[in-house]
Amino acid sequence: MFLTAVAVCPLAGLNPWPFSNWELFSRPRSDRQATWTAAAVDHAGRERGYRFNSFPRGHRGFEVTMTHFSEHSATERDAICAAWLRNASEQLGPSTQLLRIYHLTWLLSDRRGDRAAPPDRAPAWICSAKGARAAR
Amino acid sequence: MQRAETLLRRADGWVFAAEDARRLAALRIGLCLLLALRFAITDYGTVAREPGLFQPHTYMHLFERMPSPEVATTLQVCGIVAALAAAAGLAFRVSLPLAVGCSLVLNGMLNGAGRVIVGDAVLTLCLLVLLAGGSAAREAWTLRDPVRRALGASGSPAVSPTLEGVRFGWPVRTAMVVIALAYFFAGFQKWRYSGLPWVTSDNMRWILYASSDSHSHPNGLALFVADRPVLAHLFAAGSLLLETLFPLVLFVPRLRWLFVPGAVSMHLGIRLAMGLDYSALAATVVIVFVDWQVVVAWVRRSVATAPAPRAAPR
């Protein structure tokens, strides 16, 4: 039974930890990259970069969550946004009013020294005390 | 059909072959010490403070919300004590289930924060095998007798007889199969979703560039490989071969000399080039595949035959 579960999970694409589907870097990567980023906005409308991955482990779920964010119900989106905004306020201070979430795209082959060229940034979502709304 | 039956019977015979009790005891000591170390160096408090991000996975549905930081700390301390006791073979029927239980909750919390903790998965699966083996793992290399004697209890033999049996063999071999399957399926999924282009395309270069760019400081090793397509193809081919062919170590034990250091080197390379920590997986591979009773015997022989230290010249 146990060994069957170890073998079936990868075949069925299931990930019930500690069993795993072992899809480690298995999908082909391409030159074109896309990700999400967030910026905190204060009372005066000033924007400040908010790096979810600057905190150990806790916010690693940001990009995973954003990939399917639009598929969530409005209530779920509001709840996720409220949690993120609360954390941003705790980290950056109570003047934090909202979080702007951007979709970034860039080419890995377009290098500027040791780094890729700056990405194209498109506003996607706004997290405020009222909940989540699409930026466009 | 008959061939399949014969194969199954041979596999069954291999898994349920007799083994020395010390081989299983080495697994107990190694895996439990590794678990204690993981408890000690992992920060579970950060995820415990984020109830809003809790997305339960499998058994974590049992909890209504993310356990609090206080609960996480209590489980961490309990886990360390229980894992150390289990490594020593003390109160084994209680200590090992307690250590594994703490691990399942704490790692479940980390998974609940949105990231699958693959590195610790194999360690946990091997610990579950050890747990299923019952009390067999505490029959050798245990501190039970010295502790009993120190506590004034009598009747314990001074030297345990050498034990051998099926109940000491199947947990060791099942743990080996779990690890072999983990590596095999990591390779299988690459064939399944990418095929040969996983090696022949620029896939590895993009992985390394993306990883380096995601850190605050560029990674020199990642960029060195990514800037050299031939080197990137070689590393990709090596990784894919190692993962896909890893199960061969079950049938040809001599290949362990190649595949075990290969797997450890691969994880070390990933750590240096990408900053991803698979140390728990690498350590589990070493613990399970190294024949520790041979190592212990070799160390004892070396110590016994070493020349006595001479007095320092005045």
Q: Which residues make Cβ contacts (< 8 Å) with residue A47, sequence separation at least 6?
A: A39, A40, A41, A100
CB of B173 within 8 Å of a chain A CB? The answer is no
Q: Do A60 and B55 make contact, defined as CB atoms within 8 angstroms?
A: no
Residues of B within 8 A of A89 (CB-CB) are none
Q: What's the one-letter identity of residue B225?
A: V
What share of chain B in percent tops pLDDT 70? 91
Backbone φ, ψ for residue A93 (5° rounding): 110, 160
Distance CA A60, CA A64 (A): 8
Q: Do B178 and A10 make contact, defined as CB atoms within 8 angstroms?
A: no
Please report the number of interchain residue pairs, chain A to chain B, with beta-carbon separation below 8 angstroms. 139
What share of chain A in percent tops pLDDT 90? 50
Residues of B within 8 A of A25 (CB-CB) are 190, 207
Q: Measuring CA to CA, which residue among B154, B56, B145 is closest to residue B108?
A: B56
CB-based burial of residue B185 (10 Å sphere; 0-12 exposed, 13-18 middle, 19+ buried)?
buried
Q: Measuring CA to CA, which residue among B293, B289, B249, B294 is closest to residue B122?
A: B289
pLDDT in tens, B233-276: 999 999 999 999 999 999 999 999 999 999 999 999 999 999 99
> Chain B: nearest CA to A102, how far in angstroms?
16
- Kindly tell me if the per-residue pLDDT of B1 is higher than 80: no
CB of B211 within 8 Å of a chain A CB? The answer is no
Residues of A within 8 A of B118 (CB-CB) are 20, 22, 24
Q: Do B186 and A115 make contact, defined as CB atoms within 8 angstroms?
A: no
> Chain B: nearest CA to A8, how far in angstroms?
10
Q: Which of B206, B227, B277 to mutate to test the interface with A (most CBs of A within 10 A)?
A: B206
Q: Do B197 and A28 make contact, defined as CB atoms within 8 angstroms?
A: yes
pLDDT at B161: 59
What is chain B's mean pLDDT, rounded?
Answer: 89
pLDDT at B312: 54
pLDDT in tens, A3-56: 999 999 999 988 888 999 999 899 999 999 998 999 999 989 999 888 765 444
Distance CA B117, CA B209 (A): 23
**Neighbouring-strand partners of residue A38:** A50, A101
∠ Cα B253 B259 B264 (to 5°): 135
Measure CA of the first residue to CA of the last residue in chain B; give whole Å: 79
pLDDT at B180: 97
Check residue B313 and give left, alpha or beta (phi > 0: left; psi -120 to 50: alpha).
Answer: beta
The DSSP secondary-structure symbol of B307 reads P
Q: Do A21 and B209 make contact, defined as CB atoms within 8 angstroms?
A: no
Q: Do B190 and A26 make contact, defined as CB atoms within 8 angstroms?
A: yes
pLDDT at B173: 95
Q: Measuring CA to CA, which residue among B167, B31, B46, B171 is closest to residue B109?
A: B46
pLDDT at B158: 47
Question: Do residues B255 and B263 lie in contact, with contact meaning Cβ atoms separated by under 8 Å?
Answer: no
CB of B194 within 8 Å of a chain A CB? The answer is yes
pLDDT in tens, B122-161: 999 999 999 999 988 888 888 888 888 888 776 555 445 5
Distance CA B175, CA B301 (A): 29
pLDDT band for position B308 (cuts 50, 70, 90): low
∠ Cα A24 B8 B174 (to 5°): 50
Residues of B within 8 A of A2 (CB-CB) are 128-129, 132, 174
Which of the residue ranges B1-5, B289-293, B307-311 has the most confident prediction, judged by mean pLDDT?
B289-293
Q: Which of B46, B57, B116 to mutate to test the interface with A (most CBs of A within 10 A)?
A: B116
Distance CA B308, CA B312 (A): 12
> Chain A: nearest CA to B13, how far in angstroms?
16
Q: Do B189 and A23 make contact, defined as CB atoms within 8 angstroms?
A: yes
Q: Which of A57, A85, A111, A127 to mutate to test the interface with B (most CBs of B within 10 A)?
A: A57
Question: Do residues A100 and A135 lie in contact, with contact meaning Cβ atoms separated by under 8 Å?
Answer: yes
Biggest CA-to-CA distance, chain A: 60
> Which of B40-49, B151-160, B213-222, B240-249 is predicted least confidently?
B151-160
Tell whether ipTM is more than 0.85: no
Question: Do residues B137 and B117 lie in contact, with contact meaning Cβ atoms separated by under 8 Å?
Answer: no
Q: What is the DSSP string of A73-107?
A: -HHHHHHHHHHHHHHHHHHH-TTEEEEEEEEEEEE
DSSP-H helix ranges across B113-247: 121-132, 144-150, 166-193, 197-200, 203-213, 220-226, 229-245
Question: Do residues B221 and B271 lie in contact, with contact meaning Cβ atoms separated by under 8 Å?
Answer: no
pLDDT at A58: 40
Per-window interface: B 85-114 vs A, CB < 8 A: 104, 107-108, 110-111, 113-114
